[in-house]
Homo-oligomer: A and B are copies of this chain.
């Protein structure tokens, strides 16, 4: 994905401070306004430089939003995916990730909820990104459930493929409900309780 806008990870280091500030500003702007309503001017103002300055670091608006998404994915992956052995641990890491996002990076939750719905249109700049992302996430959770089933810890009447879709759908749907009423929805608790109901062991 980094290669999509013609840069390798090494090149980012050159002007990383500015780029980082722009990315962080972009998260806030696109999170609350989405891609189409969020403007480069808003991003520029928050990052403390001019709009043309932003376009010096990222050649276009689609490039910027793509960079935001892959940047955050890399972070999440390092924190919660790499080094996780699989099976029950994968599911535990998933719940931990939700808890972390809800508490520490609520703008991120907003960003993904807003963009994933907006990008269902096939001509949206990050449509392909989300197609790949969903395929990967659903497959990842499915493999975890298959591993759990293999050790007899999944309820016999639960289909791993369906359960994977359900868990991912539940996460997305709860995000929406949470965004409308943050005080009365605890996403991580709901997902944990739900996953427990699929297992023969505790989480």
Residues of A within 8 A of B (CB): 32-34, 36-37, 110, 113-114, 116-118, 120-121, 130-131, 134, 138, 157-158, 162, 165-166, 168-174, 176-177, 179-181, 185, 190, 193-194, 197
Contacts and interface: CB of A to CB of B under 8 A. Distances in A.
A173 B165 CA distance: 9
A117 B176 contact: yes
Number of copies: 2
Contacts of A171: 173
Contacts of A177: 134, 138, 165, 168-169, 172
B180 A118 contact: no
Contact of A33 (B121, B158, B170, B173): B121
Given A157-B197, A166-B190, A169-B176, 12 more contacts: A34-B34, A110-B120, A116-B117, A116-B176, A118-B118, A158-B197, A162-B193, A165-B185, A169-B172, A171-B173, A172-B176, A172-B177
Contacts of A36: 34, 36-37
16 contacts: A33-B121, A34-B118, A113-B120, A116-B117, A120-B176, A134-B177, A138-B177, A157-B197, A158-B197, A165-B177, A165-B185, A169-B169, A169-B170, A169-B172, A169-B177, A169-B190
